[in-house]
Structure 1
Amino acid sequence: MAENVQCHYEVAALKARKRFITYAVLAVLAPVIAALLCYGLGKPSLWIARGGAVMAGLSFLADLKARDMAEVFKPGGFVGNTFNSTRDKYFPQIRAFLKISVTLVLIGTAVWGFGDLLPSGAE
C-alpha cells in the first residue's frame, strides 16, 4: 500500500492554518467570555471593552498566520511538481481566511472602542 504523503507546501500551509484557527477561535471567545462575566457575575461593562482589546490582538495574530499560509505559495525559485495542485487546493481557503481575519480585527476594534457603552453588568 502506498501512503498518502503530503508535500512540504501542504505541510507548511496546514501548520499555518492550524495556528490561524486557534487564534481566530480564541479571538471570538475573548469578548464572549467578557460579556458572560458582565452578565453573570455583575462585573462592569468595561470588561467587554477589554475583551475587545484581547480580540483585536488575537485577530491580528490570526491575520499574520493567514498571511504566512499565503506566503507558502509565493516561492522565490523553482517549485516542485505538487506546487500547482496544492496551491489550487488551498488558495480559496487562504482568501477566505484573510477576509475573516480582517473582519475579526475590525469587530475587535469596535468592541474595544464601544464595549463599555453596552448596558450590562454593574455600574
Structure 2
Amino acid sequence: MTPMPRQIRRVRKPSVWFELAHRAAGSLPGVEERITATGPEFRIGPKLLAWLDEDGVSLLVHIGADERGMLTEAEPRTFSDAVGRRGRTAMRVHLAYVDVGSLKRILEQSWRERAPKRLQRLACAP
C-alpha cells in the first residue's frame, strides 16, 4: 500500500494593505505577530486576535456578535461574517476598503475581549 501524499498548504502572502493591520495591532500591548504555515497572525499570549485570510487582502478578527453585526450592516463592502478557526464566527475586514481608524478600533475591541485583566490594567495605568 502506498502512503498518501501530504496535502500541501499554500502559504498566504500578505498584501500591501496588510501593513495597516501590522501597524494597528503592533501598537497594542502584549500583541505578537507570528508567521505560521498558513500566514501571519496576531496573538495575545495563547489567544488568537486576528489573522490574514486565504485571499491575502482580508483580515479575520474575533470580535463580539453585537459589534460584528453593527459593522457588517453599516458597511457590507468592508465587513462581513466569516467562519473562523474551530468553526467560530469571525469578522472579515477587507483591508483595501477599511480606514485606519476603524481598523485600529476593531483590533482594540478584540484586544479588550481577549487580553488578560492584568495586562488591561497595565495598559490603562498612567
TM-score by length of 2: 0.22
Higher RCO, 1 vs 2 (CA within 8 Å, ≥6 residues apart): 1
The structure in which a higher percent of residues are helix is 1
The structure in which a higher percent of residues are strand is 2
